[in-house]
Structure 1
Amino acid sequence: MKFISIFLFIFLGLILGSHAQFSFDGQYFTRGEYRNGYAKIIENGWNPAFFIAHRARIQATYLHNDYSFFMSVQDVRTWGSTSQLNTTDSFLSVHEAWAQVNFNPDLSLKVGRQELNYDNFRFLGNVDWAFQARSHDLALLKYEKNASKLHFGAAFNQQSQSFSGTLYEQPNQYKTAQFVRFEQLKGGNAYSLLFWNEGRENGGQVFFKQTFGVSNFQLGNSRKLKASGYLYFQTGKNTLDKLVSAWNFGIDFKREFLLDSAQGKKLAFSSGFEILSGTKNEDTKDRSFTPSYGTNHLFNGFMDYFFVSNVLTPPLGIQNLYLKGRINTNSKTWVQGDFHFFWAHQNLEMDIGKYFGSELDVSFGRILNEAVSIQAGYSRFFAQDRFVKISGIVNAKSNQDWAYLMFILRPNSKNRFIGVRI
């Protein structure tokens, strides 16, 4: 049935594509990964993993002055996970399906399954690096005029259309959420404010937690010196009925040098620091900040040890100092190197220190034509013994590394590369 639906989706796009208000689009990327310690320290004697997976999306948009409609269907699978003579599977899904009504040029309402992709994606991002990515079921009221934007969002989730009760037991997901976000641009400077309230259910009781703060600020120009950052606080209660008092602060400085404007040759450097607060073992409050819906792959190293794999137990928080550099050899090719230093925010044990280790990330990108790009990377984590210990590993391999190669087809997207930023 799913394949009949996707066929009709394609057919509809081909039939209506001639109308100016209807556009038909898509994207495809495949990624091969070598994993030898990705997301978790690997034991000595364990063999590395290797696989190839892909994401294929078909997207349709219908635009009108008073309303619009968008739908995105995707296939996410690991190569070889189904038989060559396969008749049906569960890998096809709807990533987005929403409708929007425009009340006037400044005010609109968007309802349905949609991505939330704001600011630098620290707290709200579509997780484009992940094959499946992330989308929310909600209603979004938008007021946008000139350089100001004001968004209100609200959601209420249920697992089925039941006849009584509203019990919600979907793992790691809110039952209800509301948010308001304000953004102001002025020249090269900008700032945005975010308030997010969510309720998660546990044992029939809903616990509410709030995240709020300056979700982004930008000052200056990257050709001279550009500063950007964010500051969040979290309050309320977690699902264990424990009071929350946590925070997250990050700041970044970037400088760009134009070497040859005709060839597109340039050099860029950035340096920054981030703290995500953690909890001491004896603390009566939950002081561990959780970037629940962010694109975490962009922040604390590409090997995804922190806030992706949740390797830290107990959640001691992270301090991350980083240096990045990128050279564009021409308008189509770049090479980038990142180096991170990681410390726990709270003490691990008495007198053993906080330093976890460091990570080197090397990335490469090349635009082949107006639709196709390739991207590759290699990362290595230099773990301290204390980090190996809290990871629950007794005899760790001497080298912990990861590599990937991607083929990306995005005909009508400005984002030619995925999961890398300077």
Structure 2
Amino acid sequence: MQKSTTTLQKVQGFTAKKIGAVNVSKSVFLGIALTVLGYNNTSAQLTATGQIRERTEIKAGQGTLQKKGEKAALFNSQRTRLNLGFTGYRFKIYTSIQDVRVWGQDASSINRTTTEANNGILVHEAWAEVSLIDTISTIQNLSLKMGRQEISYDDQKVLGGLDWLQQGRRHDAIVLKYANKGWIADFGAAFNQNKELAVGTVYTGTNPAYGAGTNAIGTMYKSFQYAYVDKKFFFGDISFLFFKDDFNKYTTVTSGTPAVTSKVYGEGVWSRNTTGIYFNTNPTRKINLTGSFYHQGGHDKDGRSLSANLASISSTVQLGRKLFVGPGIDYLSGDDGTKTVTATSENNRFDPLYGTPHKFWGGMDYFYAANGFGKQGLLNYFFKMKYNAKDNLTLLLDIHGFEAANTLSNGTGGKLNSYLGTEVDMVVKYNLTKMINLEAGYMFMKATNSMASVAVKNVANADLSPDFAYISLNIKPNFLAKK
């Protein structure tokens, strides 16, 4: 009996030791797992990415027509970005520092006695977003985003990041963001000043640190306020936008010999209102339709009363597994070229605000980009093709027919042909890896005499067969990604 008891005690002791060892092992494993998970969670809070985008361009009339006999321009530009983000409890912060410059524009050695005029380093984005709800809230998101940020909605026709431009586009703004059950609602505002002032709030709108609008207006807004609401449905989504941008009032003063006219800015603003809707729908699995309509009212940057419209519709049809095609049309209203424009006449020229014109109105950037093209508006008939040759190889072909939306004057009381030209854009995109992309494009146009006329581009003895080519290497590393 004693032997049995002793044996039982040994077995119990062995079992207890084994169980203890197992518990210790579990504790060690749990500790390691928690450490790893804690590391992963900490890593997940911090993001560090970058971008090097090299682009070589050959311009022979891109942006505007050049004269016959002029040589093509060749240059290489570079965008360098470092992006850092951090997510904490009920807040996010993000910064994007970028340097944009053309190769060779800076001296290869620094002369400390001079100031570098071509300094391209700036803060592209720097914002903080604070959640206004706790994690247990049933609302998906309610937050306040403050600071320098990109503002982009829908297809970016009127508000977009303009990524094609090496320096991109951003705004210093505050945005209240709401999202829940398929609804998105953003309410934003901005207020600009040239510098810190002791008196008044006068803003000239010519601060070189800010980009102007898409329509070569050359004047930055003093302030804006907007509301954006989007509702997602099973067949797509529909959105509404109201955007009001304000421009500082001024008067013109002429003085001196010879006479020089200048602007004198005072208090008050002229306000421009843009209101519209956008839709994106799939009536069938292989057909997509997008469209928009916007109306502009109020006053333009020079105080003229404004009444203008934009209407657009485009389609995409999938043919097989790899080919996507679709026609579309854009209409942007303009002024009647046969009527004299005065300070009191109504402005009917639609301005596509702060969008991405390169995406819609041709890669040659003749319309609504940095260079003006007249005031008669635009009709853009287009047909687009996309072919996914491989998972990492895409071929794009866009064909545009451009026409003035209103009457063109020849300057002597007569009218010009409203057709401006036909443009063909061809682009090849190849992903070498997930982080390395190669892209090459070739665009050419057959322009008309109307395009070169005083009413549009105003180029005498113009070459009516301009073209443009580029090749780009885009590397976007994720510095914290696992190998």
Decide which of 274, 279, 296 is 2:330's aligned counterpart: 274
- Distance in structure 2 (CA, Å) of the matches to 1:65 and 1:110: 15
How far the C-alpha of 1:208 sits from its partner, in A, is 0.4
Q: Cα–Cα, structure 1 residues 222 and 128, in superposed 2: closer, same or farther, change >3 Å?
A: farther
Retained in 2: the 8 A contact 1:222–1:254? no
Q: Does 1:178 align with 2:225?
A: yes
Q: Which amino acid letter does the alignment assign opposite residue 393 of structure 2?
A: T
Retained in 1: the 8 A contact 2:65–2:464? no
- Distance in structure 2 (CA, Å) of the matches to 1:398 and 1:101: 53
Decide which of 70, 75, 78 is 1:51's aligned counterpart: 75
Where does residue 275 of structure 2 map in the other structure? Answer: 212
How far the C-alpha of 1:79 sits from its partner, in A, is 0.5
* Unpaired runs of at least 5, structure 2: 1-39, 134-139, 207-218, 251-265
Q: Does 1:71 align with 2:95?
A: yes
- Distance in structure 1 (CA, Å) of the matches to 2:42 and 2:144: 27
- The 5 Å alignment of 1:294-373 reads 294-313=355-374, 315-349=375-409, 350-373=414-437
- Distance in structure 2 (CA, Å) of the matches to 1:378 and 1:66: 47
- Distance in structure 2 (CA, Å) of the matches to 1:208 and 1:395: 40
Decide which of 309, 334, 359 is 1:247's aligned counterpart: 309
Where does residue 3 of structure 2 map in the other structure? Answer: none
How far the C-alpha of 1:268 sits from its partner, in A, is 0.6
- Distance in structure 2 (CA, Å) of the matches to 1:248 and 1:113: 28
Retained in 1: the 8 A contact 2:60–2:466? yes
Where does residue 94 of structure 1 map in the other structure? Answer: 123
How far the C-alpha of 1:74 sits from its partner, in A, is 0.2
- Distance in structure 1 (CA, Å) of the matches to 2:50 and 2:298: 41
Q: Cα–Cα, structure 1 residues 47 and 17, in superposed 2: closer, same or farther, change >3 Å?
A: farther
- Distance in structure 1 (CA, Å) of the matches to 2:478 and 2:47: 11
Q: SS of 1:121's equivalent?
A: coil
Retained in 2: the 8 A contact 1:279–1:317? yes
Q: Cα–Cα, structure 1 residues 109 and 398, in superposed 2: closer, same or farther, change >3 Å?
A: closer
Structure having the larger proportion of residues in helix: 2
Retained in 2: the 8 A contact 1:191–1:218? yes
Which is worse superposed, 16-25 or 34-43? 16-25
Q: SS of 1:329's equivalent?
A: strand
Retained in 1: the 8 A contact 2:54–2:473? yes
Q: TM-score scaled by structure 1?
A: 0.89
- The 5 Å alignment of 1:19-38 reads 19-38=43-62
How far the C-alpha of 1:300 sits from its partner, in A, is 0.7
Q: Does 1:155 align with 2:190?
A: yes
Which is worse superposed, 268-277 or 281-290? 281-290
Q: SS of 2:452's equivalent?
A: helix
- Distance in structure 1 (CA, Å) of the matches to 2:126 and 2:221: 20
Retained in 1: the 8 A contact 2:449–2:464? no
Where does residue 179 of structure 2 map in the other structure? Answer: 144
Decide which of 121, 126, 129 is 2:161's aligned counterpart: 126
Retained in 2: the 8 A contact 1:37–1:402? yes
Where does residue 411 of structure 1 map in the other structure? Answer: 477
Q: TM-score scaled by structure 2?
A: 0.78
Q: SS of 1:387's equivalent?
A: helix
Q: Which amino acid letter does the alignment assign opposite residue 329 of structure 2?
A: F
Q: SS of 1:101's equivalent?
A: strand
How far the C-alpha of 1:232 sits from its partner, in A, is 0.3
How far the C-alpha of 1:410 sits from its partner, in A, is 2.0
Q: CA deviation digits over 1:91-128, x for unaligned, max 9?
A: 11100000111012421000000000110001100100
Q: Does 1:289 align with 2:350?
A: yes
Retained in 2: the 8 A contact 1:98–1:112? yes
* Unpaired runs of at least 5, structure 1: 1-15, 260-265, 414-422
- Distance in structure 1 (CA, Å) of the matches to 2:68 and 2:420: 19
How far the C-alpha of 1:223 sits from its partner, in A, is 4.4
Retained in 2: the 8 A contact 1:40–1:309? no
Q: Which amino acid letter does the alignment assign opposite residue 307 of structure 2?
A: S
Which is worse superposed, 184-193 or 84-93? 84-93
Q: How many residues align?
A: 390
- The 5 Å alignment of 1:373-392 reads 373-390=437-454, 391-392=457-458
How far the C-alpha of 1:219 sits from its partner, in A, is 1.6
Q: Which amino acid letter does the alignment assign opposite residue 332 of structure 2?
A: L
- Distance in structure 1 (CA, Å) of the matches to 2:271 and 2:103: 41
Q: CA deviation digits over 1:339-365, x for unaligned, max 9?
A: 100110111023432111110101101
Where does residue 4 of structure 1 map in the other structure? Answer: none
How far the C-alpha of 1:69 sits from its partner, in A, is 0.6
Q: Does 1:394 align with 2:457?
A: no
- Distance in structure 2 (CA, Å) of the matches to 1:222 and 1:396: 47
How far the C-alpha of 1:221 sits from its partner, in A, is 5.6
Where does residue 13 of structure 1 map in the other structure? Answer: none
Q: Which amino acid letter does the alignment assign opposite residue 159 of structure 1?
A: N
Retained in 1: the 8 A contact 2:48–2:478? no
Where does residue 8 of structure 1 map in the other structure? Answer: none
Retained in 1: the 8 A contact 2:249–2:303? no
Q: Which amino acid letter does the alignment assign opposite residue 319 of structure 1?
A: L
Which is worse superposed, 317-326 or 302-311? 302-311
Larger Rg: 2
How far the C-alpha of 1:370 sits from its partner, in A, is 1.5
- Distance in structure 2 (CA, Å) of the matches to 1:341 and 1:398: 15
Q: CA deviation digits over 1:210-255, x for unaligned, max 9?
A: 00110x2012167421111110000001122211000000000111
How far the C-alpha of 1:146 sits from its partner, in A, is 2.3
How far the C-alpha of 1:257 sits from its partner, in A, is 2.6
